[in-house]
Amino acid sequence: MNLAIRDIRYHRGRFILTSIGLGLLLGVVMSMGGIYRGLIADALAILHANKADLWVVQQGTNGPFAESSRIPEDIKYRIRAVPGVAEASPLSFQTVQIERSGKPFRFFLIGYELGGFGGPPEIVAGRAIRQKHYEMVVAKAMRMQIGETIHLGLHDYTVVGITGKIVSSSGDPAAYVSLADAQDIQFKKDNDAIRNDRERITVNLAAMPSLSPSQGRYLQQNIAAITESTHTVNTIVARLAPGANLQEVQARISRWNHFKPISDAEQSAILAKGMIEKARMQLGLFRVILLVISAVIISLIIYTSTLDKIRVIATLKLIGAQNRVIVGMILQQSLLMGVIAYAIGYGLIVLTYDKFPRRIVLEAGDLQMLFVIVMAICMISSFVGIRKALKVEPAEALGG
Amino acid sequence: MDKSMYAIVVENLTKVYGKGETAVTAIADATFQVRPGELVAILGPSGSGKTTLLTCIGLINEPTHGTVVIDGAVVADGGWHGGIDLKRMRREKLGFIFQAHNLIPFLTALENVMIALEINHLTRNEAKGRATELLASLNLGHRLNNYPSALSGGEAQRVAIARALANKPKVILADEPTAALDTENGKNVMALLKKLAVENHSAILVVTHDHRMVEGFDRIFQVSDGRIIDEHNKVAAGRDHVG
């Protein structure tokens, strides 16, 4: 006869309520694990979407995600000429926050070269960008409709396509425009600023008597062209030809002044370890604290339940029950509570994880590990009750 | 004396709690025998040592001195007899009945009896058959699936008796079995114990301070300050204490 099951059956209300409470706690533990995995998945989403072998960024930086990186767009031609490089494409990244329907609207804007790579990984509705200007593809999470317009920088952009769930390392949904548009949005000055700059240059050049008027005009045009140029990008991504040696390509680009080649693996490490390390530690600490709280709760419940059964245990001992009968009853109750609480927590997370504002990624390995930990906690927690039970004397069954 | 003809043999049993100046003698030099089929009472006021005597015979409390023999097996001889398996002895040779019935609250009447049988290694089906039979014989056939909380005091005590009898013990030890019952139920329980003692050929030793119940006993030991001060036959006990 299974005494643990019989006791649970008799006290099912109390047992179910306790298990639900514990299950909610375990659900939070699971969600925190899922949030951590989601952070990694989000951080690496753009990396995985690009499928680049190499990220060339500004020297001395870990850009373009971890730090600001600005390099001239035309370096793409030089990179394409490196032996082993199959293709190279410039990319621009910026976080944009505007107001939409009276609420802050934040997204991660990616500019890519039409015909190059680094654009939307898939189009789930509408079409890809075809024109060089004023078209936009947005992530589904932005909840925009095809044909809807949005004002960025100096111009309006029309949504022509919807891409899947792609987000920045901060979890902001991504939107795509052509590289030229992204550069305009990021770097182009407004008309007043341009006029002011030109006048300042004109005045400065006029103050140089050694320049003839035609030399002054020539210089003014060239200086303005440089200061008004938007041909800057945050990174150039490159894919290698089959059989090319990544280290050799990296070594060659490293020798150039002002540029730093980062491999995809290094970029993953920067994103996954560098940028979300603190979040990982924070979440890890919370998980440990919650598991300790769960252990304390299970211990207290089992201990209290054992105290409630002192007379039952004494009676069992008096009628000759072996210790394993009593130990089994307490241990099985503890393990059953763990299993049911785990199932409740799991059910809760499965039903709600897609409603979290940030991505929750539930990995089978993490869940299995948590199950093992919960079972271990239940076993350890039941020792307090078992110790108490084994100390009960049969004589305690006597008396009124 | 041929000890094998007795269910219980107690010789010079002494139980001392504590040591030195704080030592308290709970039982001093108790000597008696109980035959199979006998219903014997240990009568005395609270604190007289009668429950201690019961626990020493019931293999719960280790005697300080003296000998205890249960069904021909020496279990105590100036402390527990070497190599004795107390739990096994309790399981196989002894049955216990308590003042507050001590039924397990989360088991039904049937399961409360079955547990004693399963602990003694009977299969589930064997245990169920025997428990059902026992409860039916005690007029509890209609209460098999009721929890103790749904049973009356008398019914609960009869379930407890069924549990004590389940493994056909040679000795049944009852601690104030009628204390929580009204007079009528108490008398019914005593009549039942008397019947079972005869039918099962078990020795039944009942600790009580309830003078209302002395009529049914074969013998009564009067205990005071840890000593058996008198032994009555049932007629004498009835005349001395009832009323």
Instruction: Find the residue in A nearest to B146 (Cα).
Output: A10
Q: Report residue A81 as tokens.
A: 């000429």
Hey, of A1, A308, A390, which one would you mutate to test binding to chain B, going by the most B CBs within 10 A of its CB?
Answer: A1
Residues A320, B115: C-beta atoms closer than 8 Å = no
SS3 B231: strand
* Residue B236: per-residue pLDDT: 44
- Nearest-by-Cβ selection for A10 from B55, B92, B106: B106
Regarding whether A243 and A127 lie in a shared domain, the answer is yes
The residues near A318 (Cβ < 8 Å, ≥ 6 apart) are A394, A395, A397, A398, B58, B60, B90, B96
- Nearest-by-Cβ selection for A1 from B55, B115, B180: B115
* Residue B234: per-residue pLDDT: 54
* Residue B120: per-residue pLDDT: 85
Residues B107, A399: C-beta atoms closer than 8 Å = no
First to last CA, chain A: 27
> Cα separation of B77 and A156, whole Å?
103
Q: Cβ atoms within 10 A of the Cβ of A281, count?
A: 11
Regarding whether A84 and A181 lie in a shared domain, the answer is yes
Whether B91 has its CB under 8 Å from any CB of chain A: the answer is yes
* Domain annotation covers residue A267: no
Regarding whether A355 and A252 lie in a shared domain, the answer is no
Residues B86-113: tens digit of each pLDDT: 888 888 888 888 877 789 999 999 999 9
CB A234 within 8 A of CB A62: no
Q: Cβ atoms within 10 A of the Cβ of A392, count?
A: 20
Regarding whether A118 and A211 lie in a shared domain, the answer is no
H or E element: which one contains A246?
A: helix A246-254
> Cα separation of B119 and B127, whole Å?
10
pLDDT greater than 80 at residue B230? no
* Contacts with A3 from chain B: Cβ below 8 Å: 104, 106-107, 115
Regarding whether A352 and A302 lie in a shared domain, the answer is yes
Regarding whether A311 and A208 lie in a shared domain, the answer is no
DSSP per residue, A331-386: HHHHHHHHHHHHHHHHHHHHHHGGGSSS-----HHHHHHHHHHHHHHHHHHHHHHH
DSSP per residue, B124-155: HHHHHHHHHHHHHHTT-GGGTT--GGGS-HHH
> Cα separation of B231 and B237, whole Å?
9
* Domain annotation covers residue A167: yes
Q: Cβ atoms within 10 A of the Cβ of A4, count?
A: 18
* Domain annotation covers residue A262: no
* Domain annotation covers residue A49: no
The structural domains of chain B, ordered by start, are: 3-241 (3.40.50.300)
Q: What residue type is assigned to position B221 of the chain? A: F
- As for the ipTM of the complex, it is 0.80
Under the banding of pLDDT at 50, 70 and 90, the label for residue B1 is: low
Regarding whether A80 and A173 lie in a shared domain, the answer is yes
pLDDT greater than 70 at residue B72? yes
> Cα separation of A339 and A191, whole Å?
67
* Domain annotation covers residue A158: yes
CB A129 within 8 A of CB A114: yes
Mean of per-residue pLDDT scores for chain B:
83
CB B70 within 8 A of CB B32: no
* Residue B242: per-residue pLDDT: 37
Q: What residue type is assigned to position A133 of the chain? A: H
Alpha-carbon Rg for chain A, nearest whole angstrom, is 32
The residues near A57 (Cβ < 8 Å, ≥ 6 apart) are A63, A64, A69, A71, A234, A235, A259, A260, A262
Q: How many domains does chain A have?
A: 3
Task: Return the DSSP state at A118.
Answer: S
pLDDT greater than 60 at residue B5? yes
Regarding whether A384 and A238 lie in a shared domain, the answer is no
H or E element: which one contains A136?
A: strand A135-139
Residue ranges, chain A, pLDDT below 50: 400
* Domain annotation covers residue A67: yes
* Residue B113: per-residue pLDDT: 93
The residues near B120 (Cβ < 8 Å, ≥ 6 apart) are A320, B91, B92, B166, B167
Regarding whether A88 and A170 lie in a shared domain, the answer is yes
Residues B119, A7: C-beta atoms closer than 8 Å = no
Residues A63-85: tens digit of each pLDDT: 788 888 889 988 999 999 999 99
Residues A399, B55: C-beta atoms closer than 8 Å = no
- Nearest-by-Cβ selection for A325 from B114, B119, B147: B119
Regarding whether A308 and A160 lie in a shared domain, the answer is no
Q: Report residue A350 as tokens.
A: 């499965």
Range of the domain at A119: 60-188+231-256
Residue with tokens 């600023």: A193
Regarding whether A375 and A296 lie in a shared domain, the answer is yes
Under the banding of pLDDT at 50, 70 and 90, the label for residue B233 is: low
Size of interface A-B (CB pairs under 8 A): 80
CB B58 within 8 A of CB A395: no
Regarding whether A387 and A302 lie in a shared domain, the answer is yes
Whether B112 has its CB under 8 Å from any CB of chain A: the answer is no
The residues near B125 (Cβ < 8 Å, ≥ 6 apart) are none
* Residue A127: per-residue pLDDT: 94
Residues B189-205: tens digit of each pLDDT: 788 788 877 887 889 89
* Domain annotation covers residue A11: yes
- Nearest-by-Cβ selection for A311 from B90, B102, B180: B102
SS3 B184: helix
Whether B19 has its CB under 8 Å from any CB of chain A: the answer is no
